[in-house]
Structure 1
């Protein structure tokens, strides 16, 4: 703004008072004080937006006044008076101030010109400055990317403050904080570092920019030589099936991500959820401290190839963290992590975030986001063929109309009827999970009966079981149940009159859902929802799944390979291991014999002695075994028992 606009906004105060807080000229200060006191009495409230439209005219008048004030009078001659030198000094000061004001005005000329032009257009169209601000905000919101992430929404404490209030959250955090411990400032967006965590230092984990395609950057995590050696020790600890060995690695290397993820699973199985969540947060903190300078969590143009083995722990850590956050009731934060995880590979979606993002959107009341995602991604992703989107999107439409109190549920009704016709096997398990008893008309109808349940493929049963196990709570509201009942009856009418859409959906079910993709199986295993895990195929259910890398892709790529282990004689010869176990001083962790070839030395003598003792015991056993005589006919049971007892004496 110009100086005149600032004076008017602040009640005709001098610009130097506003900027510097004081006036160097005592006389001008006194004059300004008198002007301020006189103007304050008659001051009226000023609309700041009106100043934008008046600046052009005011600046023009101000320049004319300055020219008239500084222009010399050609007709009159200057008179010499006392104190002329003081007046010249004052004039110089005023000129300096005016020149400074002109410099400030020149800096704002470009901004003011654009504002005036927009105001002129809006005034001609009948809109004011206030409508301009509202219109600009609306455009910005509509132009935001669908998967754009905001840093503030990644912190669950911010959501807890909105739910319970900042005082409650701060009191809880201060209670948990140890006494005489300095409070650390937040240095990570993914996880808040705790005072109990050790100093991170150099972990050996880093990130590099692999390539750039258009506006998309592809990154990869890298392990230095020291980190690779720790990784080999971690593999040995996992194969030992002893969690204590993994804990030893964490004590020595407290920010080794694979060890933290694996040990978090151990604590989760022992129902220590707080420690399990803490280890996952520490792993995410280690990842973020190794981010590349160009890697951004908010722009949505950063990619991580899931085929690279070094990138997969980051996916798994984010997945487990958002589940932990969702279990705490922070659904908005969990939704933000879903968007973040999906933005790293939106085309392949290796963790199948699309199977869970609808649940967190519903629980967080982000209905517009879910509807917008369905509308924008339906053409190229066929989201309507997923049971979770087929049912969650009409539910979001219905809840949004209920929230707005509009009462128009026509579109939501049509979407729900299409979902019920496409996936009729979902209705009865959903009602049973919600403890709702349907009426006899629905339960006896052939389209929703047991025959439809048994005719579903295994892949479709997995998707339905996953949705019911996760989202059944969203359908328990009384108004939702009534809305569902009304549309179920409409579907039965459409089935009875043999609607063409019913036959079309039946053909689609027969062709599709013939096999389960590997990313969906991975999602079901990590989610551990019983309704879906019971429908897993035997080859997956009976397969050993590594907690730090569940179901890796078949085309997995590793930057380095684990060196071949030198097998000990005990591992190479099962008979030798069995024979050595018979020795009194046997220890499977003892190092093997130094000499190659046949076992010799003191250990060889002990082994031979043990073999001789074993052979003698086996000879005695074989010599004392006698065949059992057959029972004599026509002999009583008591005589037979006495004969058997005599033989074993």
Structure 2
């Protein structure tokens, strides 16, 4: 019998023994006869010695005489403790059963379970054996974006957590602010609230010890500080977290990739092992069973029977339910109430912020949140919404920092298409050298699809701003060869002369992807190509390339499908011109819900429907069916079916 089976059998025996033990209502202390305790070791005798057994005999004898025996206290478990122990034992047995099933899969591929995750292999970070080829096919496993490349690019995606606070950017813009001004700004509510309700919340905050603190970043029950948000006066004080964060085990990561990848299990296993050794960690957000009521009511009010008022009422009952918060914020934006909507987005970020695990290093560029987990997707959505809030406030450097953070959470998938807009924020924030380094890194060069029109044509602008005109011309030529259609359209939109051959781009076969991504960049381009000298350079250089027919043999301009990450970006940006480029057939084939736009279709994918109460859903379904029957009945039928005394 294997050691795992023996451990499981032993736990089952302990569970049965605890069930048969007599019930004890209170914790009882038993006084045992005095026993001689184990000698305390002389710490000085251990210096320079790794062995616990080789302690000097004389030191041991002296210590034994010095230590007096004390009565040992033994406590029996209470009823509640027994129930908890029983649940833990059953959960452990179920976990080990699933591990046994996974071990069988490993053995089918000739991999011993004990060797599945080998952590003894040494890795050489200095070895330079990486492939610098730009690969045309974006494989699902992102095989060419190796762990070594990810680690080398981590610095480009790392952020200083101080830069996540827009107040610090305001200080740089307007000079040093007094502490009174900062405190006054922080004390403002994030949403409009009646004064009497605000007084009640403040009284509650005094009761909940550790709520906020002087820096407004303290969390009850922990010494960890908030990173993304500051607690506002109108936020309901509570010690209970609405969610938690868990670090994924190597086994869980392998299982997730097996559900989506076509690679062999030994290849996946080796990749995961290598990533973990390089310090790349994977996390997911989780909620407890008590959230099913809020999830169910939200689902019913948004999907089954859409009702804005019902969603707004849910916010009063569940003030930190992130789906409700973000949905109400979106409703307020469409009603023109931007101030209150901005505050709600901050509150949604707070719900995630207080759930961060102590080991979660949010700014190191190596912490990952897989997109297949439902609450991870909600965190992506909250960050994207907050970037929009920061843009409206004019804090572009903070928005740029959040864009880096959003990309760092999954640089391979890039679920919200950060590569389609981060160049805009880098240029607006004046981070020109960062943009050049980013375009020349494996984060862009590994796959041709990662070299987006925005990155391609903004890089020459960054080089011009750095005074590197020769490199700027070379970068513009590279951009035009990769995206000639975008170059023609860019001349058409911000060109300086009447002799622009705008019709020449008809020679290229332009599909939905090229047309949509070009349209998205052209909406941003005028805001960054503002300098007259830069425009002249763009005009003259592009005309030179066009006349030399440098890009006529281009093969990248194909009739490709629009990537899902760009579609998410387009929908969330709410740009009509961009969404109009998405084919009509796509809208007919896909159902879009704004709380979870385009979840993955392949693999172990969590959805909101997985975390709702079926009984509540059945009641809503029955009620809807009844209302449909009533609508279809005639007046006489309603009278005939009405109850009579």
* Residue 409 (structure 2) aligned to one of 337, 344, 348: 344
Paired residue for 1:186? 216
* Residue 150 (structure 1) aligned to one of 152, 160, 166: 160
Is 1:269 the counterpart of 2:334? The answer is yes
Distance in 2 (alpha carbons) for counterparts of 1:552 and 1:569: 28
Normalized against structure 1, the TM-score is what? 0.61
* Residue 509 (structure 1) aligned to one of 553, 557, 572: 557
Paired residue for 1:31? none
Paired residue for 2:4? none
Is 1:462 the counterpart of 2:527? The answer is no
Q: Where in structure 2 are the equivalents of 1:107-122 lying within 5 Å?
A: none
Is 1:400 the counterpart of 2:466? The answer is yes
Paired residue for 2:34? none
C-alpha spacing 1:433/1:276, structure 2 compared with 1 (3 Å): farther
* Residue 244 (structure 1) aligned to one of 304, 309, 314: 309
Write the deviation string for residues 241-273 of structure 1: whole angstroms up to 9, x where unpaired: 221211221111111111001111101111211
CA contact (8 A) 2:399 2:425 kept: yes
How many equivalent pairs are there? 431
Q: Using the TM superposition, name which of 143-152 and 527-536 deviates more.
A: 143-152
Q: Where in structure 2 are the equivalents of 1:389-468 lying within 5 Å?
A: 389-401=455-467, 408-427=468-487, 429-431=489-491, 433-434=493-494, 438-443=496-501, 446-448=503-505, 451-452=506-507, 455-468=509-522
CA contact (8 A) 2:570 2:579 kept: yes
The alignment partner of 1:247 has SS state of helix
Distance in 2 (alpha carbons) for counterparts of 1:245 and 1:567: 14
Is 1:162 the counterpart of 2:177? The answer is no
Write the deviation string for residues 465-508 of structure 1: whole angstroms up to 9, x where unpaired: 1111123211122111111122023213312xxx4xx2432x23
Distance in 1 (alpha carbons) for counterparts of 2:521 and 2:284: 33
CA contact (8 A) 1:203 1:227 kept: no
Paired residue for 2:247? 209
Distance in 2 (alpha carbons) for counterparts of 1:262 and 1:165: 36
Distance in 2 (alpha carbons) for counterparts of 1:568 and 1:531: 38
Asked which structure has the greater RCO (Cα within 8 Å, sep 6+), the reply is: 2
CA contact (8 A) 2:164 2:228 kept: yes
Distance in 2 (alpha carbons) for counterparts of 1:163 and 1:265: 29
Where structure 1 has 5 or more consecutive residues not aligned to the other structure, the ranges are 1-141, 402-407, 587-598, 607-649
CA contact (8 A) 2:342 2:389 kept: yes
The alignment partner of 1:163 has SS state of helix
Is 1:356 the counterpart of 2:421? The answer is yes
Paired residue for 2:373? 308
RMSD between superposed Cα atoms in Å: 3.0
Structure exhibiting the larger radius of gyration computed from Cα positions: 1
Where structure 2 has 5 or more consecutive residues not aligned to the other structure, the ranges are 1-151, 189-194, 207-212, 218-225, 251-275
Write the deviation string for residues 117-152 of structure 1: whole angstroms up to 9, x where unpaired: xxxxxxxxxxxxxxxxxxxxxxxxx99711111011
CA contact (8 A) 1:204 1:226 kept: no
Write the deviation string for residues 578-629 of structure 1: whole angstroms up to 9, x where unpaired: 354737999xxxxxxxxxxxx96x53x79xxxxxxxxxxxxxxxxxxxxxxx
CA contact (8 A) 1:156 1:333 kept: yes
Q: Using the TM superposition, name which of 308-317 and 297-306 deviates more.
A: 297-306
Q: CA deviation at 1:326?
A: 1.9
Normalized against structure 2, the TM-score is what? 0.61
Distance in 2 (alpha carbons) for counterparts of 1:568 and 1:160: 51
C-alpha spacing 1:541/1:268, structure 2 compared with 1 (3 Å): farther
Higher helix share: 1
The alignment partner of 1:255 has SS state of coil
Paired residue for 1:197? 235
